[in-house]
């Protein structure tokens, strides 16, 4: 019996999760959540796909428990922090003078039909109207907000 563990790229408590091999695999193959097989609940199949790409053989190779936990955390973090759609230009997302939209809460009436459609497709807000939906731009990403106070969802990065 083989007592050796599969040789994974280095990762420990001090390494940012953005550099974890699972997150790098997801960014390379999917880029955004709307392109994944299951946009609602991340599964172990993504971890296995990443391992298989590195040469891991199911039934033969094994990984340490700690590395399994890192991988499970990495996939959850990737799904939590990755926008739903590929980057878009700000002019595609908001109407009028786009320099106005750099800070604060943006009313739904200022959003283009494309942004409203993307928000509805993300499954977070189904009634994308000015009564229920607002937007904000934080660190170069557009977030849809439900009734200003009830959570938010990353929709896309702003392409520069």
Q: For 105-124, what is each residue's pLDDT tens digit?
A: 888 888 999 999 999 888 77
pLDDT at residue number 42: 66
pLDDT at residue number 31: 85
pLDDT tens-digit profile of 65-106? 999 899 999 998 888 888 889 899 989 999 877 666 566 788
Q: What is the mean pLDDT of the chain?
A: 85
pLDDT at residue number 39: 56
HEC letters along the chain: CCCCCCCCCCCCCCCCHHHCHHHHHHHHHCCCHHHCCCCCCCCHHHHHHHHHHCCCCCCCCCCCHHHHHHHHHHHHHHHHHCCCCCCEEHHHHECCCHHHHHCCEEEHHHECHHHHHHHHHCCCCCCCCCCCEEEEEECCEEEEEECCCEEEEEEEEEEC
């Amino acid at each position: 019996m083989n007592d050796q563990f599969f040789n994974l790229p280095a990762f420990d408590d001090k390494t940012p999760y953005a550099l974890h091999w699972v997150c790098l695999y997801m960014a390379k193959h999917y880029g955004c959540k709307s392109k994944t097989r299951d946009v609602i609940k991340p599964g172990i199949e993504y971890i296995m796909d990443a391992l298989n790409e590195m040469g891991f053989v199911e039934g033969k190779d094994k990984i340490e428990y700690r590395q399994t936990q890192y991988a499970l955390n990495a996939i959850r973090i990737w799904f939590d922090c990755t926008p739903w759609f590929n980057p878009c230009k700000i002019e595609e997302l908001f109407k009028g003078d786009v320099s106005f939209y750099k800070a604060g809460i943006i009313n739904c009436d200022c959003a283009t039909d494309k942004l409203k459609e993307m928000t509805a497709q993300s499954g977070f807000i189904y009634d994308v109207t000015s009564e229920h939906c607002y937007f904000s731009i934080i660190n170069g990403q557009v977030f849809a907000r439900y009734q200003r106070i009830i959570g938010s969802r990353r929709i896309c990065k702003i392409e520069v």
